[in-house]
Amino acid sequence: MADAIAALGGTVPGAPADAGAARSRGQGVFAQLTRSPSGFAGLILVVLIVGMSVLGPLVVSPPVSDVNLAWNGPSGAHWLGTNGSGQDVLKLIVRGGQVVIFVGFGAAALTTVIAVAIGALAAYFRGRFDAIMLQITDIVMTVPQIVLLAVMGAFFQLDSPVALAALLGFLTWPVLMRSIRAQVLSLKEREFVEAARLLNLGTWRIVFVEIVPNMASYILINFIIAVTNAIYALAGLYLLGLAPMSGSNWGIMINDAWTSGAMFNPLAVLYILAPVAMIVLLNLGLIMLSRSLEEIINPRLRDS
């Protein structure tokens, strides 16, 4: 493979000789990210919120209900006040991010895998398979997502984070699939792909070992964007009451605050603002991180 590509004047994507260069590029991207104020701030935001959500339940005890403390305002004992059940809002915030983050990243991972697999194969094979996949994509894109999510949530028992992640992941892949398809249509005409065909390496290896790794940076940026979309979609499901209300997370807090009229109670405003702020800050950090990564990775944006 290496000899054939060298004869064509190309390089071998993912070859062992390039492993050191790949590590160097990764370190270079991180170094540039630390020099970008917005990108580094986004990275810090994401790390802090994800770290708090993952480690918080291990060190913070579950909040105890006490009706005598219902709707108390902020105090030294309860920094963000209490909810209608007398539970400490700060503890709910610290312990309530795991499900939201799991569903967001899980749905984005599923969306990315489906989009990359279908988009890459459709572009490589073309013909009938490509036409069928494009038709399915058009159908899914035509249906309003919020309406489809509402219908699916009403008809199916979404009683676990895995089910929620699967639902969101299966409904949000078409846009990325079209982008991946366009990228592969361009890459499949490159010299290293032609060399791989001449060596008869097989379709799966050509597509997923030779072509797809060349889109790694593009896929990473779109994965981050997919996380933000999934988190907002999940918040919408909770607000509409279509997601399971068992347990405790930021989405359930928003629904409970909305149904209990917290926005009309001056002492309870933080109960609805705190989970909204956490979701907004997490997504803001992800967006800032993705924008900076795009500027660092894309030479045209970096040079402009």
CATH of 26-303, one of 1.10.3720.10, 3.40.50.2020, 3.40.50.10470, 2.40.30.20: 1.10.3720.10
Q: Report the C-alpha gap between 104 and 227 in whole angstroms.
A: 5
Given this model, what pLDDT does residue 73 score? 87
Question: What pLDDT digit, counting tens, does each position of 10-40 carry?
Answer: 444 444 434 455 565 556 777 787 788 888 9
3-state helix vs strand vs coil in the chain, percent to 5: 75, 0, 20
Count Cβ atoms below 10 Å from residue 261 Cβ, excluding itself.
Answer: 11
CA 60 to chain CA mean position, Å: 26
Confidence class for position 2, pLDDT limits 50, 70, 90: very low
Start-to-end CA span in the chain (Å): 36
pTM (predicted TM-score)? 0.85
From the list 278, 304, 266, 302, the residue with the least C-alpha distance to 50 is 278
Residue labelled with tokens 């249906």: 143
- Residue 240, classed as helix, strand or coil, is coil
Contacts of 177 (CB under 8 A, 6+ apart): 114, 115, 118, 119, 122, 133, 137
Residue 69 tokens, joined: 């403390």
pLDDT above 70 covers what percent of the chain? 88
